Every structure is written in C-alpha cells, then in structure tokens.
Amino acid sequence: MTTITRFGFVRHLRAEPNQFILHYRGGAIVRRGAGLAYWFMPLNAAIAQLPVEDVETTFVLTERTADYQDVSVQSTLTYRVVDAEAAAARINFTVSLESGAWVEEPLERLASLWSQRARRSARAYLTSVPLVDAVGRGAEVVRAGRSPTSAISTW
C-alpha cells in the first residue's frame, strides 16, 4: 500500500520499490516509476499503483477428459505486470488520495483475467487426451504451453 501523508493543502506520497506509480494530471501522466516519493496537490491528481513483483493466484479446474473421466486440477499461476500503462488502461488501479489504498480490488480482477486465460489452455489439453495421459504428463504439457490455445497476450 502506498503511504499518503497530509500536510495542509498538499500531500506526500511514498511508494515501496515493488510498487509502480502512475500520477495523472489533466488526463496526462506527469510522473511514473517504481518506489517514488514526492509532494502533490490532491485537487488535480489521480494516482494509480501497480505491483511490479511476481503475483501468484490459484484456481481449480474440473474437466472431463477424452475418455469421459472427470478430473480436477489445482493450478497455481504466477504473473507480473510488465507494461504498467497498458494494465492501468484496462483495470482500475486508482488509489485513494486520503488513505493510499486501492479504490477497487484490481488484483482480484487481474487474477481472474489471467486464470480465465490459463483455463483455456488447460481445458483444451484435458478434453483432447485420455485420463492416463492427462495424469501422466499433463502438468508438463500445460506448463510448457504446448496446447493448441496457449497464446496468452502480455502487457
């Protein structure tokens, strides 16, 4: 969480090194970077904070294999925001200028987005092979991204 301290009409923002800050004024970015610390006027500012460290999310996928056997797969997905401006344009990472906390829950939305994309790849593989292959070598195939629908865009 970003620390915002109030001093009369101005505020001071201090971000940790693993937090990327985008400071907007009049719709244009005036400051950007990880671990920033600066003074700003809150009346004409909008600030977004994005994580730049690795973030993990888990999900369970239940699917039917090619030989009609149900299989449940627990998956852990690790992602990192590479292009902060593109990510901030798609998901609201705005922080409150009073508390420094996110106004919405962007990490949950981001985790949902990436898990849905990863599910496509795993689902395509699981439905195309029998249970023996899915259990025997499924993890390596899905991890390597050799499934027909494994193209995942990056930001």
Both tokens assigned to 148: 């027909």
Report if residue 154 sits inside a domain: no
Tell me how far apart the alpha carbons of residues 86 and 88 are, in angstroms, rounded to a whole number: 5
Q: What is the pLDDT of residue 125?
A: 84
Tell me how far apart the alpha carbons of residues 106 and 87 are, in angstroms, rounded to a whole number: 10
Report if residue 25 sits inside a domain: yes
Report if residue 98 sits inside a domain: yes
Report if residue 33 sits inside a domain: yes
Tell me how far apart the alpha carbons of residues 110 and 92 are, in angstroms, rounded to a whole number: 10
Tell me how far apart the alpha carbons of residues 50 and 52 are, in angstroms, rounded to a whole number: 6
Collapsing DSSP states into helix, strand and coil, what is residue 95? strand
Please, which residues have CB within 8 angstroms of residue 118's CB and are 6 or more apart in sequence?
A: 59, 75, 77, 152
- pLDDT digit string (tens) for 69-101? 898 888 888 889 999 999 999 999 999 999 999
Number of domains within the chain: 1
Is 11's pLDDT higher than 80? yes
Report if residue 155 sits inside a domain: no
CATH number assigned to the domain comprising residue 38: 3.30.479
Boundaries of domain holding 11? 3-144
Regarding predicted confidence, which is higher, 116 or 153? 116
Question: Do residues 6 and 34 touch, judged by C-beta distance below 8 A?
Answer: no
Report if residue 31 sits inside a domain: yes
Both tokens assigned to 17: 């090194």
Report if residue 77 sits inside a domain: yes
Question: Do residues 45 and 70 touch, judged by C-beta distance below 8 A?
Answer: no
Question: Do residues 65 and 129 touch, judged by C-beta distance below 8 A?
Answer: yes
Amino acid at 35: G
Is 54's pLDDT higher than 80? yes
Both tokens assigned to 106: 């962007």
Is 131's pLDDT higher than 50? yes
